[in-house]
Structure 1
Amino acid sequence: MRVYPLGNIELSVTFGDCCNFLTETLIFKVVDFEGSYHTILGRPWYTKFMEVPNYTSLKLKTPELNGVIMVRGSFEQAYASGRKHFELASTIANSVELQKLHQTVTEDASNTNGPTLSSTFHPTEDTKPIGVDPNGPTKTVWIGA
């Protein structure tokens, strides 16, 4: 899905508690779609504030003068939101247009002149093996000749 911003909004954002906090004025892009999150903090944000996201435990850690600031997510809210968006994605995946595309690809694959589908990798004929293990020929990669 491709989404274009409607504009920008400048907001003052505070992380932490009364003993240890960080307040910054940030510029967010505004988009018109429903998502799992209200905002997405990307690599520029993480770099600027030296933040470390942990998606498994739904935590975001930021080092500050008085210690580490930790923002916690809600597993219940993440599950509910993920479930809702899974259903939306399933609806899109089952759409008529996608079924037509799948049918076209399947027909092309079954065509005798078309590509063959295989679960194994077969290198082209113009390759040569290169040993990457100096202690023996146990590990090799195939490089285009």
Structure 2
Amino acid sequence: MIAYEVIYVILISACLLGLNCRYNGGNNLDKELMKYLKDKEYVIACPEQLGGLPTPRNPSEIVFGDGKEVLDGKSRVKDNKGQDVTMSFIKGARETLKIAKLYNVKTAILKEKSPSCGNVAIYDGSFCGKLKEGSGITAELLKQNGILVFNENNYKENI
């Protein structure tokens, strides 16, 4: 009988590894995270780009509730010009989930505060820099599918 080693891959927000995919065209390079991942298997994704949004793009926030309410059809995502971008965010979350399933992802490290990736706090929809408790759309969809979601501030003590 042949023994196979099961490899668990970590999903990482692309911006945390220096890819310029943030709304403003920049990134959130986290050198400590890069060191942590040195001997680990991982795959990267930017849900907003996977949803078809351009880079750069107008900043977006969930206007009521969090990612769960958006996925349940009870809330929307709007950019700072008032354009509804909900469907792009949902598409990006679904595409990210497809990648996670393809790579047997059990854990994700995503960018906190993002309307896609935040897992503890997200912006409140007022575009005033205020935070509220809750998950972004991708973080919520991953959680609903049994994937543990952490952010760049809390992965070290949990993984």
Which bin holds the TM-score, normalised by the shorter protein?
under 0.3
Scaled by the length of structure 1, what TM-score is found?
Answer: 0.27
Higher relative contact order (CA 8 A, sep 6+): 2
The structure whose Rg is larger is: 1
Which structure has the highest strand share of the two? 1
